[in-house]
Amino acid sequence: MVRPVHPKLLSAFFTVLILCLGLATPVHAAVGPAPSARTVVDLDHGWRFHQGDVAGAEAPGHDDSGWESVSVPHTWNARDGEDGGNDYYRGPGWYRRTVRIPAGRVFLQFDGATIVSDVWVNGRKAGHHAGGYAAFRFDVTGLAAPGTDATVAVRVDNSTNADVLPLGGDFTVFGGLTRDVHLLVTGPVHVDALDYGGPGVYVRQTVNGMGTVRAASANLAVTTRVANDTAEPVRAKVRTVITDAAHRTVATASGHVDVGPGAVVPVVQNASVTEPHLWNGRPDPYLYTARAEVSYGGHTDVVTVPLGIRTVAVDANRGFLLNGRPYAVHGVDLHGMRAGEGSAMSASDVDQDFGLIDRLGATGVRLVHYQHGQRIYDLADRRGIVLWTEIPNLASITVSDAFFANARQQLLELIRQNEQHAAVAVWGIGNELYTSSADANRLLGDLAATVRAEDPSRPSTYATCCFSDTDPIANHSATIGYNRYFGWYGGSFSDIGPWADGLHAQDPARKIAVSEYGAGASVVEQQTDPAAPVPASHFHPEEWQALYHEENWRQLRSRTYLWGTFVWQMFDSAVDGRDEGDRPGLNDKGLVTADRKIAKDAYYWYQANWSSAPVVHIAQRRDTPRFTPATDVKVYADTRSVSLSLNGVPLGSRTPEDHIATWSGVTLKPGANVLEARSGGTTDRVTWLLDTSTGATTVDADATDPHASDGRVLRTAGRAYREGTFAYRFPVANGTYDVDLAFAEPDRSGVFNVNAERQRVIKSLDVRAEVGVRAPLHKTFTVQVTDGVLDLEFVPQAGEAVVSHITATRRSGQ
């Protein structure tokens, strides 16, 4: 819900904008905590949920005793949204819970609900919101009496809606209350809570005399939207306090404002910080805090926002400029979802994700393809990660006033809710529209104009893929990103550099980024000397992805006119319509698996290039067992020298060339081979099995068999089983094999697929659902072996894959 500025006060606003402004206080002045009448009540727990529509579910007396008990964040597509088939449920779902209504001005806040939401309190309509990824609030004061228990009912619908973004896209649209829910309680005169979900406090800055760490000064214009929800005019005090990272006050301003009944008045107060410490990205992400206080009638409402003092710009030749200096933005595209949870991610999930990005050494993240939760933006501020953030305007559009209005609404929500974040550098107005019609161009033009009007301090951007590089669709935003997959969807690894040079020469004023580049990879699919895979096939060897990124990064890093480069993508992500690689329902171009358990080799290639921490990583580590003794060993490293040993025997040291150290012609012995790479105190170790046997026509292997790659061997009730994401590779004679898999369900497992010879032979197996806990289950199938190796892949959809025993017998007469 958006509260407009009261029309009777609009003209007065421009003449009394700046009121009784104070001067900056000394840098080391202490500041104590301000009194606050604002409280936030967590409403994440105690919900009842029903999938599907229910007549009358908004009524307080509706019987929901048979509904499922859930907590939020929650999605109803955690299972079916990532199992393939493009058949996941898209429709309505209902949530209900009881809430004790406090005294005061009460707002119900949803941090995200996908896609369209309607909310009732005690059967009375609180509001309607269209858009699945931005926060929104409704004023629910008066819908239930203070001190009483009220029923909150929410109908959420993730059906495709012709009037609401997104209409398409290569990702699952997870339905539900996918982020936190709160009650926000203020006094009757307060900082506006209904400004497109924003904080109601906004800081614009002018930085003067830029230095390396500090500037000469920063002039701050702090806008506080003051809302009066009483029936009488009021005179409120407004105070702005700027504090540094040590919580010392560095500037203040104060004054009074007259606000009419039911009105909102934006108040701008100016303050100046002398010799401000600049926000300088990863090397020095220094943050101040801006605090706004609105006082009236004994109540003080306080809102604080982060403040990083810096400038951002993009130059067609020098690339991205942070505080007037070139700053290399290289990083990843990030979806807000993970295996088994969909987009209903917890705070600890987000923290883990950002930790992996931080350790990678990325300086930038593109948040795709929608607004993410506030925790991501807060972490980026604190860790100095430059952000590209965008609205879900992708694939197709509806030519209607309603659709265009919704696109603008979602863009305004994105900007108002996130403009206080120093990390945000560009506003994305869309991605990969599959039309360059006049209407599509008009929409992008309108959105680019909205960015210019709302936030002239940051440029707009757009990611294009599907037309010529200079098509009109790529000409509306102030900067432009290109989604290019040379060496995956056609072309070769080495094409991306000449392509970028050609475009830069053709249009030297164009401000260019590579917004996506990447290749698929399965951690259970290995090929020592990989050939180019077919993207739509069921074989995406991990080695090819590593080679792809090695060469693509070599090409990109030297093109300093590129203002940003973003790997597609940080984590494998759910796309229920895909069926490729080792499983359906997944885009497997991530540097890390969707469950965050395995970082692929390509992750370590970038870590060796980007991170300041010592990196030593033996590549092709999951390429086991091996069937020929002679092999090369490749190690990614960012150290001066790396030593390698095999079974305790030193093989010498190498100086990495372009972050790669190579030992050629290493000879493995039959059985287990332990390789250890070392540089100083940093060590990496892998075990490769060499099996040179041939001609076997049977397999009889338990969970501990060394022909497995990855996974963990555990025991339950004396019986061993392997769990995780893993594969077995058995050398056998060619022919047709009858395979029997035995499963003894442990206390924990999940839903998983089994692939044999790159074909899916068992889909969505849930052992516990079929036979219960610790009961035996057998699954049989027939497979043709043509390359002398029986490949079996165990790939989770949710939780872990498991197996206890494997037998395979070649059919007679072959």
Task: Inform me whether the pLDDT recorded for 799 exceeds 90.
Answer: no
Which residues are part of the catalytic machinery?
432
Which of 231-245, 455-469, 652-666, 710-724 is least confident?
710-724
Task: Inform me whether the pLDDT recorded for 30 exceeds 50.
Answer: no
Task: Inform me whether the pLDDT recorded for 31 exceeds 50.
Answer: no
Which pLDDT tens digit goes with each residue over 588-621? 999 999 999 999 999 999 999 999 999 999 999 9
* pLDDT band at 6; cut points 50, 70, 90: very low
**β pairing state of 181-186 and 105-110:** antiparallel
What average pLDDT does the segment 653-666 reach?
A: 97
**Is the bond preceding residue 659 a cis peptide, omega within 30 degrees?**
no
Contact, 369 vs 394, CB < 8 A?
Answer: yes
Q: Count H helices, E strands: the chain? A: 9, 51
Which pLDDT tens digit goes with each residue over 690-708? 999 988 999 999 999 999 9
pTM of the model: 0.94
Specify the pLDDT at position 32: 44
Specify the pLDDT at position 746: 67
Return the percentage of the chain with pLDDT > 70, whole number.
95
Specify the pLDDT at position 607: 98
In angstroms, what CA-CA distances link 729 with 94, 150, 485, 692? 47, 60, 31, 12
Q: Which of 248, 192, 196, 257 is nearest to 225 (CA)?
A: 192
Contact, 688 vs 799, CB < 8 A?
Answer: no
What average pLDDT does the segment 49-67 reach?
A: 97
Give the pair of three-digit tokens for residue 32: 């104590």
Task: Inform me whether the pLDDT recorded for 421 exceeds 80.
Answer: yes
Question: DSSP string spanning 351-400?
Answer: HHHHHHHHHHT-SEEEE-SSPPPHHHHHHHHHHT-EEEEE---EE----S
DSSP H helical segments within 455-567, as ranges?
A: 496-506, 542-557
* pLDDT band at 36; cut points 50, 70, 90: low
| CB within 8 Å of 96: residues ≥ 6 apart | 47, 48, 57, 62, 64, 67, 151, 152, 153, 154
What average pLDDT does the segment 112-137 reach?
A: 98
* pLDDT band at 748; cut points 50, 70, 90: low
Specify the pLDDT at position 26: 35
| CB within 8 Å of 181: residues ≥ 6 apart | 43, 44, 72, 108, 109, 110, 111
Task: Inform me whether the pLDDT recorded for 8 exceeds 50.
Answer: no
Task: Inform me whether the pLDDT recorded for 797 exceeds 70.
Answer: yes
What average pLDDT does the segment 42-71 reach?
A: 98
Task: Inform me whether the pLDDT recorded for 22 exceeds 50.
Answer: no
* pLDDT band at 3; cut points 50, 70, 90: low
Which of 282-286, 295-299, 355-359 is least confident?
295-299
Which pLDDT tens digit goes with each residue over 194-245? 999 999 999 999 999 988 899 999 999 999 999 999 999 999 999 999 999 9
